[in-house]
Amino acid sequence: MNKTIYFLILTLAVVSALVYSNREIKHDSEPTSKPLSTAGAKPDPAARKKWEATPDGIKYKEWETSPAGKKVHASYEKIKNDINSFANMEAVVTSVTFQRENAKPSGPKWLIVKINNEEYMMQFTQKDFQQLSSLEVNDKIIVKSRSAGYSPNHPYLIISSDYIERNNKVLFERDLSKNGGC
């Protein structure tokens, strides 16, 4: 978790430096041709090819083409529109005790839910998970998510845990004003 935060901060610092160094004074008669950020830029194909040749890249590509990887990608396609529009998704809790293999007991907590007959994972800190202590298997909840991710180390698509309600009562809502909107 800490490595992810440091990586995001480092990335933000690099992008900010690029934006600051590339800014120009705009002239009414002369439009600028330099981009102000790398947000819309395509990833460098050479860097991707280099990464794909590493052991991690090879392992990822093998997972991506495996039945498990294809299943995770297909499950994303089923909820992609709901994520993009931050829409309500009806879910059923299937596990409140899921633990990743070789995970520390003090590590993140996972909630497994079923949406449209597909299983999804939601990760929480210990503190945030306490707000969900009343949830039980087979509880029907409403989930809203802004993003999703996948990894060969996880059996299901990981959807962000931004909003959860049960019986019209909000159980969890991520405060985006903290952590710079992350």
Q: What is the pLDDT of residues 68-91, one digit of tens each?
A: 999 999 999 999 999 999 999 999
With beta carbons less than 8 A apart as the criterion, state whether 111 and 155 touch: no
Residue 115 lies in a domain: yes
Residue 38 lies in a domain: no
Q: How does pLDDT run across 7-26, given as a tens digit for each residue? A: 667 666 666 665 666 654 44
Percent helix, strand, coil in the chain, to 5, is 35, 20, 40
Q: Which domain holds residue 139?
A: 54-174
pLDDT in the model for residue 84? 94
| CA angle in degrees (0–180, nearest 5) for 14-18-21 | 135
pLDDT in the model for residue 47? 87
Residue 161 lies in a domain: yes
pLDDT in the model for residue 153? 87
Which sign, positive or negative, has the C-alpha torsion 51, 20, 179, 159?
negative
Residue 33 lies in a domain: no
With beta carbons less than 8 A apart as the criterion, state whether 73 and 63 touch: no
- Pick out the chain residues at pLDDT < 70: 1-2, 6-8, 10-42, 176-182
With beta carbons less than 8 A apart as the criterion, state whether 93 and 137 touch: yes
Residue 11 lies in a domain: no
Placement of tokens 């860097």 in the chain:
47
Residues 6+ apart with CB under 8 A from 34: 22, 24
| CATH number reported for the structural domain that contains residue 110 in this entry | 2.40.50
